[in-house]
Amino acid sequence: MSDLRVRLLLPDEPTNWPEALTRSATFTVLDAWTGISRRIYGFPVHRLETEQESGVNGILSLVEIKHPLLGHYLVTSPFGSYGGFAYSSPEARDALLAAARQLGDELGTEYVNVRFDPGVSAVGLGTALSTDPAEPPAPVDVPPEGWVQDPIYSTFLMDLTPDTDTLLHQFSSDHRNHIRKSLKRGFAAKFGHLDLLDDAYEGLARSMHELGSPYHSKAYLQSMAEAFGEALEFMVLYGPKAKIAGAGVFIAHGSVITNLHLNIMRRYRSNYAGEYAYWKVIERYHEKGFQVFDIGRSLIGSGNESFKMKWKPRSQLLAYWYALKPGAELPHINQKSPRFRFAIATWKRLPAFIIRPLGPYLIRGLA
């Protein structure tokens, strides 16, 4: 592919990317997503593409994070699970990754993090990148030289094609029983848009506080809803006496509905509020004709992963590839890292009037 070219798009240059690539790169490659990071947090966005005479055959969207506590780095899919990267040839993939490393060097970043589902981002390539018939096919999730994989996250994909009764009978008897019990505990789920903004923010901010994690501002959620329009829905879970019990954010992209956030407040979990919320989400998006429910990423070995596996999804290890400076270690910016244990425990104890204004400042570095 001697005519392959890599191009860095101008900041406000409109894209002309093939639908097959943007679909495979998920909604996190779209200006609607990266624009939120730029508007709310002021992060620069760097968009790369590879092209030939036949057109664009690779895309990579990176956001530059600079935070006094959490470092300076480039990342795809900021505040999302994965995506922002797709390619239709091995050469396009490697050219984009080489350009990303060079860009990181030019900007003086500590590392570059490209995170994606290799089976989806490799458009039309199946499970092999090798084009030499004399070589055995290499797994698509093996990073090229100069990159290392951190096998820490999986995402979970649930097919919604059967009727909901068929789905229900795929679960274990215990899980079916918990779902049925949840339907009798007085919960109600409401789906909407900006009409639910206030309650969705309260449900997410409170539940994240209980987990010891900072959360975005209400303006972030509002910006997201305005950018995605009808492709985004909030879900608010109400308990008995109409009290907020949890909330979620769901984004549609093609035939996939993605769980961006779905959190339940602790005091409602023993009454199977999580089972109720997930089942109502499944019912809604099955009725709307979506084929796949992307339940979202979880740390491998976490309790969150165990809960998601009850829904019998397909577990997909995500490629979390890092280009590091010589001698540097993987950053491990997640709740299992020892460096965050004290911070998480402290955050849980702080009152809401402190964490609400401080949370967006901290989470802006956790993209």
Topology of the domain comprising 5-154+318-333:
Aminopeptidase (3.40.630)
Q: What is the domain partition of the chain in residue ranges?
A: 5-154+318-333, 161-290
The residue with tokens 């989806």 is 120
Same fold, 5-154+318-333 and 161-290: yes
Output the pLDDT for position 2: 62
For residue 321, the cross-strand partners are 114, 149
Which DSSP category does 187 fall into? -
Element holding 108 (H helix, E strand): none
The domain over range 161-290 is classified in CATH as 3.40.630.30: yes
Segment-wise mean pLDDT, segments of 10 residues, the chain, 367 residues:
87 93 96 95 97 94 95 97 96 97 97 94 60 39 90 95 90 97 98 98 97 96 98 97 97 97 96 98 97 96 94 95 93 80 91 94 93
**CA-based torsion, 295, 299, 300, 302: positive or negative:** negative
